[in-house]
Structure 1
Amino acid sequence: MDGPEVLNPKNWPTPKGYANGMLAEGRLLVTGGIIGWDETENLAEDFVSQGRQIFENIRAILAEGGAEPRHLVRLTWYVVDIEEYLANLRDLGRAYREVFGAHFPAMALVQVVRLVEKKARLEIEATAIVPTAKVQQVHT
């Protein structure tokens, strides 16, 4: 198995934009809470731009560990305003697909009072499973 398997119990509707569960073999790769700033710590201005930068940042971390977006098994989103998230869902989804493709791992979305960086509108933690063969290639 090179990538995770989507788990959806029989007779459940197929979720849109996320998976109910994922099954994978390999080495665990986790990120901290990633926000929408670039390598010089300049924070993107608006919600969707911050989201796109977060996706790019996660993709860069995955690459460091020999993984790709298709190896993601979970994303936990923290937003300061769920209404802002819902209002930007279409554009955010487009940015997600442009960076990660059509791979939708298990996801959770949580509204929080604020994030450490006051101007950050969202933060995402990512979990990926790197296939063992990929890990060996990166470290040899």
Structure 2
Amino acid sequence: MTLKTIQPEGWAPARGYANGMLTQGRALHIGGQIGWNKDQVFETSDFVGQMEQTLANIAAIVEEAGGTVADIARLTWFITDKQEYLARQKDVGEAYRRVFGRHFPAMSVVVVAGLIEDEALIEIEATAQIG
């Protein structure tokens, strides 16, 4: 099987991992994305702001592979604060729709004690089927 690394143009290089791997069968596996920008800088410490940036990062990787958010089949969310996630459902939904519209793939949400990047409040993995 041939794999192609997907790295959006202009993004800081990933160190020790790939942002995305595209298979010959056009399945795109997206490594955990967090709420920093293309330069690996957090622009906000707000949960919903980081969530929206995380989803935008996923969308950029899918688009770099030749797809659209409609090609995303699965999302796995890792969050550090269950109470904030539950309390801000309206804001979460609005931010989600700004990036993904009304496309709702299979999703799981897992509460974790922490993430590798101390500033990160959320990490999301994705799988897409391009084309």
Paired residue for 1:115?
115
Hey, what's the Cα distance between the residues in 1 that align with 2:96 and 2:102?
8
1:42 aligns with 2:41: yes
Hey, what's the Cα distance between the residues in 1 that align with 2:78 and 2:86?
13
Paired residue for 2:129?
129
Of Structure 1 and Structure 2, the greater strand share is in 2
CA contact (8 A) 1:47 1:88 kept: no
How far off its partner does 1:72 sit?
0.7
1:45-64 aligned within 5 A: 45-64=45-64
Gapped regions of structure 2 (runs ≥ 5): 1-24
TM superposition outliers: structure 1 runs of 4+ over 6 Å: none
1:93-104 aligned within 5 A: 93-104=93-104
Letter in 2 for 1:109: V
CA contact (8 A) 1:36 1:123 kept: yes
Hey, what's the Cα distance between the residues in 2 that align with 1:65 and 1:79?
26
State the Cα RMSD in Å.
Answer: 0.9
Hey, what's the Cα distance between the residues in 1 that align with 2:100 and 2:64?
16
How many aligned positions are there? 106
Hey, what's the Cα distance between the residues in 2 that align with 1:83 and 1:111?
10
Identity of aligned residues (%): 49
Letter in 1 for 2:118: K
Higher relative contact order (CA 8 A, sep 6+): 1
Hey, what's the Cα distance between the residues in 2 that align with 1:93 and 1:111?
18
How far off its partner does 1:54 sit?
0.5
Q: What are the Cα deviations for residues 34-65 of structure 1, in whole angstroms up to 9, with x where unaligned?
A: 00000122112200000110111011000111
How far off its partner does 1:71 sit?
0.6
TM-score (normalised: structure 2): 0.78
The structure with the larger Rg is 1
Gapped regions of structure 1 (runs ≥ 5): 1-25, 132-140
Paired residue for 1:76?
76
TM-score (normalised: structure 1): 0.73
